[in-house]
């Protein structure tokens, strides 16, 4: 059960990581001002992250259905439902970001054709401002991811410590059982030896009594013939 808990915790950590990475990439898509190749690359990354997230949610769902306790099963399946709703929300945000970015790129291209060099100046200005904002958002997202992963690592370390302690307790209990087994076997040997000795003593007493009776009978028989 403890090993299963560790796998569940690792799976949830990866789901949280993919969720945060998707949010950061969707923000980049929303702020993308060209070229179209850049937008295509961002969308490819988002799609890959969504595929990874979907697989991990499926893994968590399978782990939830394999839980022995009904309470643990319901709790995990509730988490799975929450993660799926969050994924749908991210997909909606991704579509909206794509529409906004494509509309912005189309407008910039139209202005470039209409106004030429003057628009190019404004385009460079917007690009610098967008890059600065994107850099700030990405930094904030990375810091958030770092804090989240740090917390999860700490929890994983505590779990591993608990597992190590439990393993040590099991080993000690096993040693105690081995010692008890040895004691029981020794006691069994002593009892068997005692029973054999008791049987031998009874046999000796019987033989002695038989010899005594035979001697008495012999003496009585001898005296009887003597008197005759």
CA 92/CA 228 separation, integer angstroms: 133
Predicted pLDDT of residue 171: 66
User: Dihedral sign, CA of 130, 132, 137, 138?
Assistant: positive
CA 193/CA 196 separation, integer angstroms: 5
Number of residues in the chain? 228
pTM of the entire predicted model: 0.49
pLDDT digits (tens, 9 = 90+) for 95-106: 999 888 888 887
What does the pLDDT average to over 66-86? 91
Nearest to 39 by CA among 106, 89, 111, 88: 106
Radius of gyration from C-alpha coordinates of the chain: 43
Q: How many helices (H) does the chain have, and how many strands (E)?
A: 4, 0
pLDDT digits (tens, 9 = 90+) for 112-141: 677 654 555 455 555 555 555 655 666 666
pLDDT digits (tens, 9 = 90+) for 26-45: 999 888 877 888 888 999 99
Predicted pLDDT of residue 198: 67
CB contact at 8 A, 42 and 28:
yes
Predicted pLDDT of residue 222: 67
Predicted pLDDT of residue 121: 46
User: Where along the chain do its domains lie?
Assistant: 1-113+178-224
């Amino acid at each position: 059960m403890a090993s299963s808990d560790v796998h569940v915790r690792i799976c949830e950590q990866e789901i949280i990581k993919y969720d945060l990475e998707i949010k950061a990439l969707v923000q980049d898509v929303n702020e993308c001002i060209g070229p179209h190749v850049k937008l295509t690359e961002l969308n490819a990354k988002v799609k890959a992250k969504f595929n990874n997230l979907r697989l991990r949610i499926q893994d968590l769902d399978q782990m939830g259905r394999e839980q022995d306790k009904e309470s643990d099963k319901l709790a995990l399946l509730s988490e799975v439902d929450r993660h799926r709703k969050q994924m749908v929300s991210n997909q909606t945000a991704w579509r909206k970001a794509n529409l906004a970015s494509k509309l912005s790129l189309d407008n910039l291209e139209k202005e470039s054709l209409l106004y030429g060099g003057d628009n190019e100046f404004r385009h460079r200005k917007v690009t610098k401002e967008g890059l600065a904002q994107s850099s700030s958002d990405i930094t904030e997202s990375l810091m958030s991811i770092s804090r989240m992963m740090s917390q999860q690592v700490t929890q994983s370390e505590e779990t591993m410590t608990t597992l190590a302690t439990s393993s040590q307790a099991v080993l000690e209990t096993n040693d105690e059982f081995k010692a008890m087994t040895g004691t029981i076997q020794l006691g069994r040997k002593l009892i068997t030896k005692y029973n054999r000795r008791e049987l031998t003593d009874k046999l000796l007493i019987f033989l002695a009594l038989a010899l005594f009776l035979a001697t008495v009978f012999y003496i009585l028989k001898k005296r009887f013939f003597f008197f005759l």
